[in-house]
Amino acid sequence: MTGTLIIGDYAHSSWSLRGWLLFEKFGLSPEIRLLDFKESSVAAQLQKVRPARTVPTWIAPEGTVVWDSLAIAEELAARHPEAGLWPDAPGLRATARSLAAEMHSGFTALRQACPMNLRAAYQGFTPSEAVIADLVRIADLWSFALEASGGPWLCGEYSAADAFFAPVATRVATFDLPLPTPAYDYVAAHLTDPALRRWRAMGLVRGQHLPWYHFDLPERPWPGPTPRPARPVEEGTPENDACPYSGKSPTYLMECESRIFGFCNPTCRDKTVADPDAWPQVAGWLDSDRAA
């Protein structure tokens, strides 16, 4: 276990998504502690984790508190060089660090006008000149990095820089923001990434409705992959003998393609119902004749 990662709401906390991807995409497994954005301020909920006041916050195994996303990226890279958070090649590594640093400190117009909302995709949003300026800069950065590295991610293989820009991709998806085609291709890479699909699936079923993140605009389908249809059911005999996530007895049921699968609690079931193919354990069952 790689310490404890404290995060906020899955559907709306863009910095929490960045922090989580820094672990998830590089094979690092922290204990997750989830804060409730409706309970009280984040700072109040972190009073016992001094001096942290924001999410994500990482408590390293020995108890060191790391309370900034860029600092988490650098500290993880230093402690786990084998994980590959930054590219090995010096030039690409410098580019990746520059990209992450500019994302960390910039694009305030985009952040303020277009908050991350993984539960909605709108049509009819009109970006301001300041937001357009941010998008032009973002598209130029992506183009520069992809041309230099050859892709498919900004600096070749997935790096911390991509984790920092993942919430931008979701903002483009939610608000249908104008970008040139190559930039849309990079957005699509994020939307199809299984890790981001898992995060979004959790955002669809965990956390309360936060009205200040929602806009009074017509909605359209989410532009990412269409999930395989599934639904919770009360009765049936599951094919599997144990929950794919915990190994515990499967008592909560899901039906998908006329097959029944069991999970140990409602959250395990519901996050799977939201996007069955995002979860390798379940996707493998669905592509086989019977669950292992």
Q: Are residues 69 and 94 in the same domain?
A: no
Q: What is the mean pLDDT of residues 221-240?
A: 97
Confidence check: pLDDT of 172 > 80: yes
The model's pTM is: 0.96
**Mean pLDDT (whole number) for 211-226:** 95
Residue with tokens 């979860």: 279
36 assigned to some structural domain: yes
Q: For 183-205, what is each residue's pLDDT tens digit?
A: 999 999 999 999 999 999 999 99
- Does one domain contain both 192 and 102? yes
Both structure tokens of 51 = 């001096």
pLDDT tens by residue, 129-159: 999 999 999 999 999 999 999 999 999 999 9
DSSP 30: P
pLDDT tens, position by position, 58-105: 999 999 999 999 999 999 999 999 999 999 999 999 999 999 999 999
Task: Please say whether the beta carbons of 267 and 206 come within 8 A.
Answer: yes
- Interatomic CA distance for residues 235 and 60, integer angstroms: 43
- Does one domain contain both 117 and 143? yes
pLDDT of amino acid 59: 98
Q: Distance between CA atoms of 90 and 70, rounded to whole angstroms? A: 19
Pair type for strands 57-59 and 65-66: antiparallel
Predicted confidence at residue 16, as pLDDT, reads: 98
User: What average pLDDT score do residues 204-223 get?
Assistant: 93
Residues 6+ apart with CB under 8 A from 244: 263, 268, 279, 281, 282, 285
Neighbouring C-alpha atoms within 13 Å toward the C-beta of 269: 22
Which of 198, 216, 244 is the C-terminal boundary of a domain? 198
What's residue 291's pLDDT? 79
Q: Is residue 213 part of a domain?
A: no
Domain for residue 219, yes or no?
A: no
CA separation, residue 48 to residues 40, 42, 220 (Å):
14, 12, 42
Per the domain annotation, does 174 fall within a domain?
yes
Element (H, E) at 232: strand 231-233
Which phi and psi (to 5°) does residue 6 adopt? -95, 125
Q: Reply yes or no on whether the pLDDT at 22 is more than 80.
A: yes
DSSP-derived 3-state class of residue 20: helix
Helix (H) or strand (E) holding 90, with range, is helix 90-105
Residue 106 has pLDDT above 80, yes or no: yes
Predicted confidence (pLDDT) at residue 292 exceeds the cutoff of 90: no
CATH (domain of 186): 1.20.1050.10
Q: Which helix (H) or strand (E) holds 149?
A: helix 129-149
**CA-wise closest residue to 292 among 231, 240, 235:** 240
Three-class SS state of 52: coil
Assign 207 a pLDDT band (cuts: 50, 70, 90): confident
24 shares its domain with 70:
yes
Please compute the mean of the pLDDT values over residues 198-214 and round it to a whole number: 92
227 DSSP assignment: P
Same domain, 146 and 167: yes
Domain end, chosen from 177, 198, 219, is at 198
Place 279 in a pLDDT band, splitting at 50, 70 and 90.
very high
Q: Which pLDDT band, with edges at 50, 70 and 90, does 237 fall under? A: very high
* Per-residue model confidence (pLDDT) at position 233: 98
| Residue 21 clears pLDDT 90, i.e. is over it | yes
Domain that holds residue 251: 231-286
Question: Does residue 211 sit within a domain?
Answer: no
Confidence check: pLDDT of 1 > 80:
no
292 domain residue, yes or no? no
pLDDT value at position 117? Answer: 97
Same domain for 112 and 170, yes or no, is yes
Question: How does the average pLDDT of the chain come out, rounded?
Answer: 96
Tokens in use for 167?
Answer: 């919430």
Examine residue 71 and state whether it is found in any structural domain, yes or no: yes
**Segment 247-269, tens digit of pLDDT:** 999 999 999 999 999 999 999 99
User: So what's the pLDDT on residue 4?
Assistant: 98
Q: Pick from 198, 219, 241: which residue ends a domain? A: 198
The total number of structural domains in the chain stands at 3
pLDDT band at residue 40 under the 50/70/90 scheme:
confident
State yes or no: cis peptide before 152, omega within 30 of 0.
yes
User: Does residue 166 lie in a domain region?
Assistant: yes
pLDDT value for 38: 82
DSSP H or E segment with residue 252? strand 252-256
Distance CA 279, CA 290 (A): 16
Phi, psi of 90, deg, nearest 5: -55, -45
> Which amino acid appears at position 290 of this protein?
R
Q: Which of 13-27, 35-49, 178-192, 231-245 has the lowest mean pLDDT?
A: 35-49
How far apart (Å, rounded) are the C-alpha atoms in residues 225 and 73?
28
Rounded Cα gap, residues 58 and 107, in angstroms: 24
